[in-house]
Amino acid sequence: MNEANLNDLAELPFDEAIKRLEEVVEKLEQGEIPLEQSIQLFQEGMLLARLCSKKLEDVGRKIEVLVKENDEWRSRPYGEEESV
């Protein structure tokens, strides 16, 4: 996989990256491809998996939760502990 392909992968929207990852997994599971192609697909799949994971983490940091504190509504980042 060359650098141009890596940049192309990084620009994929999440849904397209997941779809491509599923295609890669399906091809690898069939087991009827040459070793070199299997290695390339495995590397692509690992990159796609990391990319999807990072995109999910980025979205998770953007999500806020509304909470009521002392009769006032406030927002806080998702996953942050509630104040006691």
CATH number belonging to domain 3-77: 1.10.287
Distance CA(9)–CA(63), nearest Å, equals 25
Which residues share a beta bridge with 72? 69
Reference 55, options 22, 5, 12, 7; nearest CA is 12
Q: What is the mean pLDDT of residues 73-81?
A: 76
Tell me the domain boundaries of the chain.
3-77
- Give whole-number Cα distances, 49 to 38, 39, 68, 80, in Å: 16, 15, 37, 26
pLDDT tens profile 12-29: 999 999 999 999 999 999
Take residue 58 and report the two structure tokens written for it.
């980025």
User: What pLDDT does residue 81 have?
Assistant: 65
pLDDT at residue 82 tops 80: no
pLDDT at residue 62 tops 60: yes
